[in-house]
Amino acid sequence: MNLINEFRLHSLEYAMWSRELVHALKFQTESIEAIYERLHHEPVDMYETARSFYGPELSEQYLNYFTQQVITLRNLTEALIHNNYQAADQYWRDWNNTGVQIAEFLTQINPYWERAQWQQLLQEYHFMMYQEILAILSGDYRRGIDIFDRIVDHMIMMADYMSHGLMLNLATLSPAVL
């Protein structure tokens, strides 16, 4: 249960700090860098959790992928704020390409995770997050809140898929490995 709760917490904090970053960027608050730094802390927390199960080398790759997601989120949001749609389009493609790489990576390290499932989960998250960014930037805050509610549900589903696959993988290991 602790594992499930830990993945849920990380996922929800990631969603919350992502939303907070979009708001800070839109309004150019003094808190931008503090929020961005805090959002960067989520991949580090996920790295620490993953390291317990997959060791430092694989967990470092995990950290790198999710750190790239944070960087791309900021770049995409800033491009949209500045109406640089060509850059925004490129960041959108980069964000989704990294999602494909994450799906491939996760399925290589755990046979209980399916690439197509991870790709779908990440693609849906990216789409919802993009819609949330657009709602916030356009001032449609009610729509942004509705989308955020769906993101929260989706992140819990992703966290549960992650922890379920990890628990199945751990169950197949011999007691000597544990």
175 within a domain of the structure (yes/no): no
pLDDT at 174 over 70: no
178 within a domain of the structure (yes/no): no
Please tell me the distance from the alpha carbon of residue 7 to that of residue 53, in angstroms, as a whole number: 13
pLDDT band at 170 (very low <50, low <70, confident <90, very high): confident
pLDDT of residue 158: 98
Residue 178's alpha-carbon distances to 10, 52, 115, in angstroms, are 24, 11, 26
170 within a domain of the structure (yes/no): no
Residue 39: give the domain boundaries.
Answer: 2-165
Scanning the structure block, which residue is given the tokens 């939303």? 19
132 within a domain of the structure (yes/no): yes
99 within a domain of the structure (yes/no): yes
173 within a domain of the structure (yes/no): no
User: Domains in the chain: how many in total?
Assistant: 1
68 within a domain of the structure (yes/no): yes
Please tell me the distance from the alpha carbon of residue 153 to that of residue 136, in angstroms, as a whole number: 19
177 within a domain of the structure (yes/no): no
pTM: 0.94
pLDDT of residue 65: 97
DSSP 8-state code for residue 77:
H
pLDDT band at 171 (very low <50, low <70, confident <90, very high): confident
pLDDT tens-digit map of 86-137: 999 999 999 999 999 999 999 999 999 999 999 999 999 999 999 999 999 9
